[in-house]
Structure 1
Amino acid sequence: MELAPQSAQSHPDLCVSFDDWTRGRKIVSIGSNAGAERLPFQGWHHFKEAFAPEVIARAVNESRREVTSCLDPFGGSGTTALACQFLGIAPSTVEVNPYLADLIEAKLCSYDSDDLALDLHRVVTAVNSRRRGSLARFKHLPVTFIEAPGQERWIFNRNVAERIACHLDAIDELARPTHRRLFKAMLGGMLISVSNVLINGKGRRYRGNWQEREIPPRSVDQLFEERTRQAITEIHAHRMRRYRGYQVLRGSCLEQLSNSNRADLSVFSPPYPNSFDYTDVYNVELWMLGYLGDRDANRDLRMSTLCSHVQIKRQFSPAPKGSRRLTVALGRLARLKGELWSPWIPDMVGGYFHDMKEVIGALRERLNEQGEIWAVVGDSRYAGIRIQVANILADLAEPMGFEVVKVEPFRSMRASAQQGGQQELDETLLVLRKVGR
């Protein structure tokens, strides 16, 4: 969705700036918000992998050309787009996950806080008037989602699922689509906390003693109301952003970047080639909120993501030429294929860099002259073989018309349990500048 640009306010001194939003907090690393004060809007949904918005401000300040527009091909939690609004920059973002795309747009959208409060009152009143919601709206869900006779495991107790259904029914009755989107996003952000599972590692796991866990149905109501009231407070306090327009494109960045607005800068963090299925992490929200209607829809969504994992069988594109580092790593992986926990890992790694080269090429077409890419990327390791992601991407980008401005490691990540779990994998800031014509 694209709104008409709204940049300079009639009273710019009344605008909420980036510094007002971040409050001069101290960050441990640009690659993570961990260890730093949580900012408004960050509590709407927990994102372990979200990078700090301070990297966008740094990119704008250090860019060779003046930045008036910015593009993020991997929208995620909306960090880049939201930071751009506070910086007075026109944001464009692409997100393949429909739940995350709605969450991003809910953060970027302009609202009347009084109207939001009235609609929240309508939802709360409707929910309180109903003892339980119909589980018929969840009939398409996999059988493990909701408690039923004869099941050994389930994600939601039946009474909790009925309260969630009540909220969804009430939200669906609201007249304004922007309010429905926001309230669904707030409900999605609390689903795991009222479930029998946790998101951990590379997927979800059941809580300890989950069978004995009591979740009073009214706690669902209270949590939703508290979270939504807090969101409305944040929206009201930060409504006068320096730029209030935006563009959110839904779908794969490999398909949607050609539809994005041109930009002076691109700041993003792509999935890492670490066999982490980022779509599956949001499986609960996607199913419960109705973004997925059946298993085919689930598979289609997972197949449309970047090649960064092997959990779903797919046809991986061949590895690109142009990086000796990549060729050597893939050769070593091929020789040790029998020692890998999945025989598809070499193909996945090659497919990952094929996809990332396509993304970089598409970004070059959308960037203005001297426009820059600021990418937060992470290495991976399989059978002791390190995949140097930033350096490989730099190798691939130079022949495509980019100057490598910097390759700046800033944090050491913990390797997977299969690799010993040591702090030995770099997270790196890669900066590329478009050159030539």
Structure 2
Amino acid sequence: MSAAEDLIRHYDALQSRWKVSDRIADYARLVVPTGNSVEAFHRWFHLKEAYSHQLLARLLKDADWVPDGQFAILDPFSGSGTTLVSALSISEEYAVIPRVLGIERNPFLREVGHAKAAGMQQGPTLARRVRAALPGLELLYQKAQETAWSTPSATLNNRKFFTAEHLQSILALRIAIEQIDNGAVVSLLRVCLAASVEAAGKLRRDGRALRHQPRWEPKHPKAVFDANVTRVLEDLDSRAESMSSRGAINVLGDARAAHLHAGRRKFDWIVFSPPYPNNIDYTEVYKTEAWALGLWDDPAAMRAQRLSTIRSHPSVRFPELYTYVQCPYADEVGALLDPLLNAIPDDRYRRGRLQIVKGYADDMLRVFDACRRVINANGRLAYVVGNSVHGTKEGSFVIAADLVLARIAELTGWKVEEIRVARKLSRRSFDSEHLRESVVILRPA
């Protein structure tokens, strides 16, 4: 039997352990950002990798779970804040007290989620503060335009991507915003600026990388920024004064240490979508926004950010350190990963792929262990993950992340309640029933 055939048998055996359901009709549009680009607050910054703002409500509905008194939810990969904003909306619908914690490793995305949650919670009060700051911001911007600002970002400095005029405008806006003496207003306006960067240049985020678009006609950053501010104010004004509340925070942290960020607090639901083991480096995908906001001082800081992320990509060479080899269930993890490791072709990409498989499993084992410590006895965890194909046609293999993560979760004290197949994926001529995107439901064992 070939290594590829052995891997398929391995996946089939794993899958037979659990209930696997075809839920494409229910979930296909929910595991992608359906509606987010037009929904209030969610639309402030469009994250192509997000799931729909409607997903959380569907998970609760399918579990027959109704918030009662308090709604405690954790998202250890909070991204642009979809779970946070959705949870606040649900808590208002059921008139319960929200307790929502988001954790995000990427400082730019953390700031986006933080601003959205603050907007939901402060509403018209924040709108008044923003309006009060705008005349002063305009003066600060005009003054900042008189100084030639610089950035260490090679991407922003590349004239194929951004003209000198547009780069100067972006940097002047950032300098002006940073001089405002109100943290919540500053954060919100920085998100408006970040949401202007793509339209102001010739780089498109396609979900996998940044692509040069030479035929694009960039818009002036200040014009896009002003339109973004108008949109944000519309959403803040749509909130009634009585809706303003507290209960959601978004912290810069590490999902592998979720229990440390949560402290002794227990959660009813943990919902997240981790980076998929598909070679996509999200530090790279959102680097232009991060550089525009001045979140890194030099390329070394950006590299350090990469090294701090989940090992789902080979953009940097991570240290060969795997904690699972010393854990009580090291043999079980080895048995889970060996068929996958054996199926990796012996070519120039082998080392990087070995690191992805072992590093990703190692990191996610720590995530599930951390989450297990902060879930209520009758709580649930739901994760969204996509499987991916690697290699050429002759040496292709699937990393079935939904199954691998389900088994890792079992080892850390979870019971797999159901694997809901949400979407079938395609890759040229490659076809496999394991090439899919799934929503996996766990309970504490």
TM range (shorter): 0.7 to 0.9
| Alpha-carbon offset, residue 63 of structure 1 | 4.2
SS in 2 for 1:183: helix
Residue type of the partner of 2:311? C
Equivalenced residue count is: 392
Kept in 2, the 8 Å contact 1:44–1:186? The answer is yes
Alignment of 1:152-231 (within 5 A): 153-200=159-206, 202-209=208-215, 215=218, 219-231=220-232
User: Bigger CA drift: 219-228 or 350-359?
Assistant: 219-228
| Closer/same/farther in 2, CA of residues 285 and 364 from structure 1, 3 Å limit | same
Query: Is it true that 1:434 corresponds to 2:444 in the alignment?
Result: yes
The one of 265, 269, 273 equivalent to 1:269 is 273
SS in 2 for 1:279: helix
Alignment of 1:32-71 (within 5 A): 32-34=32-34, 38-63=38-63, 67=67, 68-71=71-74
| Closer/same/farther in 2, CA of residues 189 and 414 from structure 1, 3 Å limit | farther
User: Bigger CA drift: 223-232 or 37-46?
Assistant: 37-46
SS in 2 for 1:430: strand
Kept in 2, the 8 Å contact 1:28–1:34? The answer is no
| Alpha-carbon offset, residue 169 of structure 1 | 2.4
| Closer/same/farther in 2, CA of residues 201 and 372 from structure 1, 3 Å limit | closer
Query: Is it true that 1:396 corresponds to 2:399 in the alignment?
Result: no
The one of 239, 247, 259 equivalent to 2:261 is 259
TM-score normalised by length of structure 2: 0.81
Query: Is it true that 1:369 corresponds to 2:377 in the alignment?
Result: yes
Residue type of the partner of 1:102? E
Structure 2 gaps, min length 5:
1-25, 92-97, 325-329
| Alpha-carbon offset, residue 316 of structure 1 | 4.3
In structure 1, the partner of 2:132 is 118
Distance in 1 of aligned mates of 2:386 and 2:42: 22
| Alpha-carbon offset, residue 209 of structure 1 | 4.5
| Alpha-carbon offset, residue 326 of structure 1 | 3.2
| Closer/same/farther in 2, CA of residues 393 and 144 from structure 1, 3 Å limit | closer
Query: Is it true that 1:87 corresponds to 2:90 in the alignment?
Result: yes
Kept in 2, the 8 Å contact 1:135–1:161? The answer is no
Distance in 2 of aligned mates of 1:375 and 1:232: 33
Residue type of the partner of 2:145? R
Distance in 1 of aligned mates of 2:173 and 2:244: 34
Write out per-residue CA displacement over residues 175-230 of structure 1, whole angstroms, 9 at most, x where no aligned residue: 111101110111001101101222235321221247xx5x57xx322211111111
Write out per-residue CA displacement over residues 55-99 of structure 1, whole angstroms, 9 at most, x where no aligned residue: 211233344776520000001010111111111132101001111
Kept in 1, the 8 Å contact 2:35–2:52? The answer is no
SS in 2 for 1:135: coil
In structure 1, the partner of 2:388 is 380
Kept in 1, the 8 Å contact 2:421–2:436? The answer is yes
Kept in 1, the 8 Å contact 2:174–2:292? The answer is no
| Closer/same/farther in 2, CA of residues 364 and 255 from structure 1, 3 Å limit | closer
User: Bigger CA drift: 78-87 or 158-167?
Assistant: 158-167
In structure 1, the partner of 2:147 is 134
Query: Is it true that 1:99 corresponds to 2:108 in the alignment?
Result: yes
Residue type of the partner of 1:146? N
Distance in 1 of aligned mates of 2:146 and 2:266: 46
The one of 402, 417, 438 equivalent to 1:405 is 417
In structure 2, the partner of 1:10 is none
In structure 2, the partner of 1:12 is none
TM-score normalised by length of structure 1: 0.82
| Closer/same/farther in 2, CA of residues 94 and 35 from structure 1, 3 Å limit | closer
| Alpha-carbon offset, residue 144 of structure 1 | 4.3
Distance in 2 of aligned mates of 1:241 and 1:331: 55
SS in 1 for 2:421: strand
User: Bigger CA drift: 303-312 or 240-249?
Assistant: 240-249
Structure 1 gaps, min length 5:
1-25, 148-152
Kept in 1, the 8 Å contact 2:195–2:225? The answer is no
Kept in 2, the 8 Å contact 1:307–1:352? The answer is yes
In structure 2, the partner of 1:246 is 248
Residue type of the partner of 2:239? H
User: Bigger CA drift: 32-41 or 263-272?
Assistant: 32-41
Residue type of the partner of 1:71? L
Kept in 1, the 8 Å contact 2:420–2:439? The answer is yes
- Identical-pair percentage: 24
| Closer/same/farther in 2, CA of residues 342 and 188 from structure 1, 3 Å limit | farther
Write out per-residue CA displacement over residues 331-370 of structure 1, whole angstroms, 9 at most, x where no aligned residue: 211xx121x6453112211210111111001000011112
